[in-house]
Amino acid sequence: MALHANKGKIYFRTPSSFHIYLIFFTLALAAHTITSSGDTSQCLDWGFTENLECPTCDKIGVVLHDEEITRNCEECCKVPEVAAEIKYDKAVLEVGRSVLPLFPEVEGFYKNRRKQFSKLQTKLTRLAMRPVIHLYRDKHDEEPAESMGVSRWKEDSIVEFLDEKLQA
């Protein structure tokens, strides 16, 4: 209900269905904008960095077949100017030595399957750091082109991801 004044008279007017729909649509649009912009801290908790590009989410969906990870990825990604198929020359799995046992799937990959990737290096740190895979376009690059947190990933998902992302 709204309070209106017309020629010195005050009266109440009930909103029309159109106004109710308009208000609902505006609130829904605002809620979608807030959630789709991706809360940076939530994205980091999910293992996604701020330079995550949306085509990567499509590939993750195809490779991992995990709807939750794909949905989270899509909430955090940005659309690149040019979406090209990018293969990387080097990957580095970085994880804290003390916390590796807290991530049994990543630990299984580290112990059993990492050696099948000649372009993968591993870096065990002293810090209590969650597992992250850094991808480099050239093996001599100092800064990664892309980084992905893999703390919640299954061992097979890590293997499929590296198969997809690394050059042969």
User: 136-166, pLDDT tens digit by residue?
Assistant: 999 999 999 999 999 999 999 999 999 999 9
Q: CA-CA distances (angstroms) from residue 81 to 42, 62, 64, 154?
A: 24, 22, 25, 31
| Candidate from 24-33, 52-61, 153-162 with smallest mean pLDDT | 24-33
Q: How confident is the model at residue 29 (pLDDT cuts 50, 70, 90)?
A: very low
Structure token pair of residue 106: 């990543």
Task: Write out pLDDT tens, residues 73-130.
Answer: 888 888 765 444 789 999 999 999 999 999 999 999 999 999 999 999 999 999 899 9
Q: Spell out the domain ranges in the chain.
A: 40-165
Q: CA-CA distances (angstroms) from residue 36 to 2, 44, 77?
A: 32, 15, 9
* Residue with the two structure tokens 């701020």: 50
For residues 165 and 156, what is the distance between their CA atoms, to the nearest angstrom?
14
> Which of 84, 149, 96, 101 lies closest to 126 in space, CA to CA?
96
Which CATH topology does 40-165 take?
Glutaredoxin (3.40.30)
